[in-house]
Structure 1
Amino acid sequence: MRKIARTGIALSLVIGFSLSAGGAAQAERERDRRAQGGTKEDGITAGVSRVRITGGSSKGGGNTVQLTPANPGWKAPACWYEPKTSPKELKEKIESAKPKKWKPAKKTGTIFDDLNETHNNLADGLSKQVVRLYEDYYQTDKYKNYNMAKQGKGMFWEGVKNPRRKDDPEADKCSRHAYWVDEGDPAPKNVPLAVSPKVLAEYAYEELPIPRTEISLNPEGKQTVNLDTWVWADKGKFKPVSVTASLDNPAMSATTTAKPVSLTLEPGTDEARTFPASGKCKLGEPYSAGRKDETPPCGVRYLRATSGNGAYPLKATLTWEISWTSTDGPGGELPAGSFSTTHDVTVREIQSVVRD
């Protein structure tokens, strides 16, 4: 049985939109609102960004993680509009989306031959309608001949998706038609989510090369009831890291920096004390000989031994402050972020014999 060809035909327009032909009713809806731009219901989705991420390195090598923002309601933008397509590129790509002449395969004598031919004829007809609507919009309805007279004097701005949030429904918000902006002019104020240094900084937040939280303990291995355990993070590994998000035209960039500021300990049992009492300390200090009588600046004291093969889940959370600077001003602060790891700690109790 021959598979029906071109099921769910889709036109890819390099203006950054992907148009799915779902039926004649959809073409009618597109015709009615062609001057207002696309919507999620039209099947229009944002394209690929030209924003570049550069710089940034981590002592953790490839073992990097993403921070959890301290503000649970905050997220980097799922999409935005940016300058992407010239008049010439737009024209070429819309015209290249026109369906090619379909040639039916050799008949095999099955009912699927007729169904296949009918389907493809309808799909080609619908595809032509959709492309024609876009041609009309950029040739006569909104612009004149794709703004070819302004070639080199500006760009069409298009919706693009944050690659980390491309499946998020929020990414469908940037689905209006590409719109023209003259070179040197800002994006229209009535267009939300136009790219800006702050948008770039927020996008860079998710690209920071944060090393996985790791801690050192002294004593190492099994701990002892009522004996202080020193805890610290390696200051040579946990240093400020930065990345820069940038566009070439118009020239725009933002550098986002993360700085480790505190280590928070949760012993995993109420039968323990932390140092300091809040459990929140700086990155801690490595234990060294001669400090056994000192209270650890960052640590824990277990008051009860673990039983059998059990262990206490010692949770260590490293918090990072996030800030940004840009080519367009001083920048500002973004929500702090954190990453946690858990270490299984076994605690023993040393028995002593008292003789009369």
Structure 2
Amino acid sequence: MIRLANRTLQESGMLLITLLISITVTYAQQRPTPFRVGMPLDSIRLSDPYILADRNTSTYYMTGTGGKLWKSHDLKYWTGPFDVVQHDTASWMGKRPDIWAAEIHAYEGKYYYFGTFTNTAVKIDTVKGNIIDRRASHVLVSDRAEGPYTPLNDSLYLPAHMPTLDGTFWVDVDQKPYMVFCHEWLQNWDGTVEKIELKKDLSGTVGKSTLLFKASASPWSRENVDGQTVPNKVTDGPWLFRTQTGKLGMLWTSWVFDVYTQGVAYSTSGTLDGPWIQEKLPFTPPNYGHGMLFRTFEGKLLMSVHSNKNVDGRHIRYPHFFTIDDSGDKLVLGELLD
């Protein structure tokens, strides 16, 4: 658990939000979820919703925080949750790790599960009085979209001394595969988005990570520190895309004071190396974030996000879809499909 030491009220507030969300996530993962058939989307509680539109099975697969899987044929009614993760219980993850922000990517005939695993029994650092759990983005593999997902060769992927999260997948113009992830603000106090090359079969990483940008680069995410308005420390949920004109962009999420909000950045070089130019204003309305893009089987581009609702002190998160127009150099937000 996060311990609060002497610091400004504003920093304590941000840590308190992080603590409450962490407690809520852990509680939700430990609580059994009944198996349901035909469950409406608005009845599902899920953080960081990710959709794989799998044409091989004509099925939409939804995953996210919790490591479970839901299935649908119309994006309205869902069956699940299914257990799909078979991690190595003898590894650093331990027997029952928390799983955050899971994604499923189809790549060269297989399906790859990018997830953030947290072993709360292992502590890796203490920064400003905050004890940091062992947490890292990691990759599992399966021959089927619905799993099960099992370990690849690399037992680490990312350095053990870094708390990393929200790893996503991208093949850049050099045709090399990469993981793009966040180095958590709780350690560096200015969260980063970074890239690291993956082996061709995604079975491990190559070399060291490269910084893409820091949270402080954002003109829209804000917090109060010592009575002054400054950039927020949080980087969360990167997602890469290209518009129909070929412009490379990235959705990512932070906070506007105490409201979870998503922004977007664009690469001037058209590659992961950037430089990344942040849009001045948030991309989503307040209280929507951790977005990703997918096309329906009918060809419509949608963005999957979650919203937050405080219920008796617990942060409850619900999945939603927005329509998106990517015909120009920049994404245009459409309507909320509720």
Instruction: Bin the TM-score by the shorter chain.
Output: under 0.3
Higher relative contact order (CA 8 A, sep 6+): 1
| TM-score, L = length of structure 2 | 0.18
Larger fraction in strand = 2
| TM-score, L = length of structure 1 | 0.17
Larger fraction in helix = 1
